[in-house]
Structure 1
């Protein structure tokens, strides 16, 4: 392919690159590589630094080496179960044996005595002689380009289909090299001034050096630029979405205080400073003509529920309805209980809408919501179904909002007269994640524990010390407390985990605590049975509750003072912090015992974070470093951006810079109409517009 200035060349079908053809093109298409542009954005998964070349005479066992020499001999040997190939490579200082078991027939056709090659691999010892098994190599001659020696070598993700089609790393590098060689210059969506302002290199330099560079500094610049691009365009999407929300105008909700003051008067405790601050921010949203779009982020036990109850009172007194959506029946019922206890005193009707309702009960609830008699509707996913109609919905509250997809939230908002959205989470989210996944929302943080909350002492034991933990539980129950014993329930091993929890329940009931009342709770119980167990635990009829992680949210028993979490190494730190928050909700000094089946240093390091801190935001930051963003969002954000190279764990400074630049551009050019932004708009329209339209309420 001849060099060409046209950016259209990037759209050339992949099969027309030398060395690809229809068969390999079909394999590449399975990886969403259809064009030269797609190929250039297939980034290496790691790099090998081969900038130094060693002499064969100096190499030693276990060294990773980069050597250059001439092939002295090549031998293919047949065996009953295949074949293997050996070659002798020599320079002026010595020789070494090379050996391949996989792909030996192919290499035999390619490698000949007399070839000058560059080799990279790990040196091993075989009967006193040095050898390198399965080395990577590149031929060096007048007709071929060495893509390895003396460079920082890219190593690409390879599937079995790629390997079977002959696209190993060596051939993939050659194809990418030829693709880049066919382009004289890659057009940039940022002009020179923007590149300087954003402190990034050109796209042309980035895409060339991400694949082939002779400088670590240039490689770092390239990675920085390509990460910046991904974060920048996501932030453009969020900035546009935020601006779109603010474009809407509605009648403000006045700050009527009759209900608000009555609820405050009925409280047995005083609000914390951060609760008061967050309520001021919420009231300011109500008084604005723009709809609310706010995330309330509270640490475990910081009292976000009472904030939502007080905020709702203002909306209800203005003759609007409130919808509160929770991810589980258990949490919805807990919220319903909390709201009803306050609003019954005011003569305000609350309704519960969950999937377990009988059809006759559901019909009554739906009619009450539709007529407007029910001012507060609390429920699960059932709330955004087609058969639910509100008379005058003025506030939608999404609890544990990260458990819902973007589209599910939008479905509820579309039922609103005024699309005020208040999302809440008791899972502290690191700031880099918050501004990435919720960057279109205003953020409020409740980070003060109520003054009356007791200490929770956290300790870590190994499985062989469980008897000590059981004795401690018995001691605390003898003075009136209750305990929770948690077993993991992981989706991939759900059946085994459920069996383990049931077996442990039998063990605790029959052998360990035969004289105490032990209950079992897990997600597979039918709703009536689940409600019965929970009611018994709340009424102190059950002293020890054995449970899977269904207790992570929704249990608010002030008498529970001990939680024992088994196989804690299988949980993320933030999830352990959530589980710990099931105790310490009353006046009793409380205890969290972490029991692990692993003595690895990594496990101890992780658990030390939890034993040393009750600050959920500190724990979340550590969890992000140790386990990555999947711990917070998992597959529930699967409809969102999938990054090629960006990394939320390490990209904090890049994210903040990209966010600032993106929001500045949208503030000054809301529709990206300015000539300076024309190529930004073109890329956004091509790659992000559909996502924007899909996730934004008009």
Structure 2
């Protein structure tokens, strides 16, 4: 008999186990059984839904509806063009040796076809796929009868071995009402999984359940043993649902156990308590503010203040709409830490954003932020900027202010993480646009505190995170959300311009910019690429169909915007030029800034009221929302124009219309994640893994995730290292992709 921990090479032999290990890192019985079917085919229904990715390896089961033999155009020989009928769609397939294939692949045959999907125009098909003729479907008198199982290509061996009772290939799988279909490759096909899993289940001992009986009863979950068997070979759709419900809960529990352990470990660390002072720089700052904080800002500020007062490190996510006032809240928190005699480090993803924060904080603080300079207030602190492109002298001076403690607030890019940077006494780390940083980078900055001390951590994002995502990927953080805009700020109006079909609308967009400039306002024109012949122009198709920032700059200066002051900004400009250009735009010396996404986050020019995004279909939903948030930050109405040459009937144009229809970043975040199929929801870009969760949807399974979180926190509170719950500990490793588990543990 077999257990979940048994190695597959001992159970199945090297011939079957080696491809599983090489292609999917499946080593044990549990690894194999948790490789769940990604769908179930019914008789005649395709094994893939919709249009597969070009070049992907797919398998379908269907009935040959048409089979036409045609001569090749440019050489001798014939093609057999086949149409495979399925319940929801028809798929075309082409065979290059038509004369040989026509005797097997003919009208009425029920068969499995496996090959590479090829796209052309708005359709797809299979070029010379492998095929396996299947036995007649029971209960269908008009089905073609297959007297001998035949096959070709990669399926030829399966057809041949199906005649051998000792081969392990069981053709009865194709007679089931529900045929399991697995994530597969050309070397390990779906039916290989069927064979291996059936062999393993036949030998498997009863699986003990790591979930307590009362938890299963509360959430109406079947046992793990039953779930692992039913998910692979169900008889009904209800059995599929019951099995998936249980295994989905396992995934949620595994994730939440990791998060609960991180929360517990963080709570055990020591941080410097920073209670608020009634006569400190933070109080002076609030007195000099020319406006009142919104109710939401005040509530979040109080939450953070309470966290900072405790002897354990704060770990809080501050998320809010573009322009919701996160910077003010973060500055208030930093000043509370400065009042305690400690330093704060603010990490920004780009030099433009770091410089913008530096100027913005100095402006907000006024005499409170220029300690050591003429006109400084009595309780002033010093703000220092540190970036990689600074001159040696400026960098040396900044480093000196940091190590001596003269600088209370240090703002910088990745340069802050370098070994040469030493803090006098770091008490708080603020990470802006947290999704731009890997976990190692954040940890490297926090490690610059004194030994045994963990700085308070505040991570900020203007990319809204739906509740289920925050609970799952940032479950160790407390979450604060700013939803309301500051008083006096109007919602941004957005319009989509079909540039190819409505050239007059494009002309009107440039006129609109001219009108705003004549009224003393400013504008952005954003392009998707630079256009200097470097890496971003390596794709000839993209270069032909999109407008570069360099070309657009020249075109606008010489044409529709010839009468206004036009500036240029992109990522490959020298840092001093970028900073000078941004400064000129901020001070109103540039009317229209033609730029790339270098202005996506953090840039704050209240006088800018119009943004034209050229080739807007080249940008993601969240990116468009971020860019749009750069305008309308003063008291004037903002207008965003999304230009696109894509078809008005296509999905790209529909996506732009969805962005234009709402300013709700949370609604757009969900739209964005659905389109990306949650592929990078768990930090794939940072962990190097692009695999998805197997069953759990981080958008739709709020109830499951909430229940799993409550259960996991209760367990970890009583048993932090799960030493008394070995089954749960093992389940955490089994239910999560190993790369993702390592990422979550490191973060």
Pick which of 610-619 and 579-588 moved more.
610-619
Pick which of 526-535 and 637-646 moved more.
637-646
Q: Is the 8 A contact 2:733 2:741 kept in 1?
A: no
Distance 1:349 1:200, change over 3 A: same
Q: Deviations over 1:632-668 (max 9, x none)?
A: 6764332689633333233332222221221122233
Quote how far apart the aligned CAs of 1:250 are: 4.1
Q: 1:398 aligns with which of 431, 435, 440?
A: 431
Q: Is the 8 A contact 2:319 2:481 kept in 1?
A: yes
Q: Deviations over 1:32-64 (max 9, x none)?
A: 123333222223232212399xxx999999742
1:659-674 equivalent positions in 2, closer than 5 A? 659-674=709-724
Rounded Cα–Cα distance in structure 2 between residues aligned with 1:7 and 1:366: 58
Quote how far apart the aligned CAs of 1:322 are: 0.7
Rounded Cα–Cα distance in structure 2 between residues aligned with 1:457 and 1:119: 60
Rounded Cα–Cα distance in structure 1 between residues aligned with 2:138 and 2:356: 65
Q: Is the 8 A contact 1:99 1:134 kept in 2?
A: no
Distance 1:665 1:40, change over 3 A: same
Rounded Cα–Cα distance in structure 1 between residues aligned with 2:682 and 2:589: 36
1:358-373 equivalent positions in 2, closer than 5 A? 358-373=391-406
Q: Deviations over 1:556-596 (max 9, x none)?
A: 11111100112222323222111111001112221011122
Rounded Cα–Cα distance in structure 2 between residues aligned with 1:243 and 1:23: 42
Quote how far apart the aligned CAs of 1:200 are: 2.1
Quote how far apart the aligned CAs of 1:159 are: 2.2
| SS in structure 2 at match of 1:512 | coil
Q: 1:587 aligns with which of 635, 655, 672?
A: 635
Counterpart position of 1:186: 207
Q: Deviations over 1:338-364 (max 9, x none)?
A: 222211254311111111112222222
Q: Deviations over 1:251-310 (max 9, x none)?
A: 521211331222122222211001100111111112222211111111110111111111
Q: Does 1:13 align with 2:13?
A: no
Distance 1:631 1:615, change over 3 A: farther
Q: Does 1:148 align with 2:170?
A: no
Counterpart position of 2:656: 607
Counterpart position of 2:414: 381
Q: Is the 8 A contact 2:399 2:422 kept in 1?
A: yes
Q: Is the 8 A contact 1:332 1:380 kept in 2?
A: yes
Distance 1:623 1:79, change over 3 A: closer
Quote how far apart the aligned CAs of 1:21 are: 4.4
Counterpart position of 1:625: 674
1:259-270 equivalent positions in 2, closer than 5 A? 259-270=281-292
| SS in structure 1 at match of 2:304 | helix
Counterpart position of 2:124: none
Counterpart position of 1:46: 39
Counterpart position of 2:103: 86
Q: Does 1:274 align with 2:296?
A: yes
Counterpart position of 1:355: 388
Counterpart position of 2:108: 96
Rounded Cα–Cα distance in structure 1 between residues aligned with 2:575 and 2:128: 62
Q: Is the 8 A contact 2:44 2:63 kept in 1?
A: no
Q: Deviations over 1:323-377 (max 9, x none)?
A: 1111111111111112222112543111111111122222221121111111111
Q: 1:169 aligns with which of 190, 195, 204?
A: 190
Rounded Cα–Cα distance in structure 2 between residues aligned with 1:315 and 1:308: 11
CA RMSD of aligned residues (A): 3.9
Distance 1:57 1:31, change over 3 A: closer
Instruction: Give the gaps of 5 or more residues in structure 1.
Output: 67-77, 90-94, 126-131
| SS in structure 1 at match of 2:605 | coil
Alignment coverage as a number of residue pairs: 654
Counterpart position of 2:603: 555
Q: Is the 8 A contact 2:607 2:634 kept in 1?
A: yes
Pick which of 520-529 and 630-639 moved more.
630-639
Q: Is the 8 A contact 1:370 1:388 kept in 2?
A: yes
Q: Is the 8 A contact 2:606 2:634 kept in 1?
A: yes
Could you state the TM-score of these two structures normalised by the residue count of structure 1?
0.84
1:415-434 equivalent positions in 2, closer than 5 A? 415-416=448-449, 417-434=453-470
Counterpart position of 2:344: 322
Rounded Cα–Cα distance in structure 2 between residues aligned with 1:244 and 1:596: 49
Q: 2:185 aligns with which of 146, 156, 159?
A: 159
| SS in structure 1 at match of 2:568 | strand
Q: Deviations over 1:201-234 (max 9, x none)?
A: 2222222222221111111222222222122111
Could you state the TM-score of these two structures normalised by the residue count of structure 2?
0.79
Rounded Cα–Cα distance in structure 2 between residues aligned with 1:407 and 1:326: 15
Instruction: Give the gaps of 5 or more residues in structure 2.
Output: 46-61, 67-82, 89-94, 116-126, 145-150, 371-375
| SS in structure 1 at match of 2:175 | coil
Q: Does 1:469 align with 2:509?
A: yes
| SS in structure 2 at match of 1:11 | coil
Rounded Cα–Cα distance in structure 2 between residues aligned with 1:624 and 1:105: 35
Counterpart position of 1:578: 626
Rounded Cα–Cα distance in structure 1 between residues aligned with 2:229 and 2:581: 62
Q: Is the 8 A contact 2:255 2:732 kept in 1?
A: no
More helix by share: 1
Q: Is the 8 A contact 1:322 1:395 kept in 2?
A: yes
Rounded Cα–Cα distance in structure 2 between residues aligned with 1:140 and 1:492: 55
Quote how far apart the aligned CAs of 1:523 are: 1.4
Q: Is the 8 A contact 2:64 2:108 kept in 1?
A: no
Quote how far apart the aligned CAs of 1:427 are: 1.3
Rounded Cα–Cα distance in structure 1 between residues aligned with 2:402 and 2:521: 40
Q: 1:481 aligns with which of 521, 526, 549?
A: 521
Distance 1:247 1:27, change over 3 A: closer
Counterpart position of 1:226: 247
Distance 1:399 1:65, change over 3 A: closer
Counterpart position of 2:565: 517
Rounded Cα–Cα distance in structure 1 between residues aligned with 2:212 and 2:617: 49
| SS in structure 2 at match of 1:148 | helix
Quote how far apart the aligned CAs of 1:522 are: 1.5
Pick which of 678-687 and 449-458 moved more.
678-687
Rounded Cα–Cα distance in structure 2 between residues aligned with 1:120 and 1:648: 41
Q: Deviations over 1:94-124 (max 9, x none)?
A: x83468998999989x97xxx9555999x99
Q: Is the 8 A contact 1:406 1:695 kept in 2?
A: no
Rounded Cα–Cα distance in structure 2 between residues aligned with 1:462 and 1:356: 40
Distance 1:448 1:628, change over 3 A: same
Q: 1:332 aligns with which of 341, 349, 354?
A: 354
| SS in structure 2 at match of 1:483 | strand
Q: Is the 8 A contact 1:117 1:140 kept in 2?
A: no
Counterpart position of 1:31: 24
Q: Is the 8 A contact 1:556 1:585 kept in 2?
A: yes
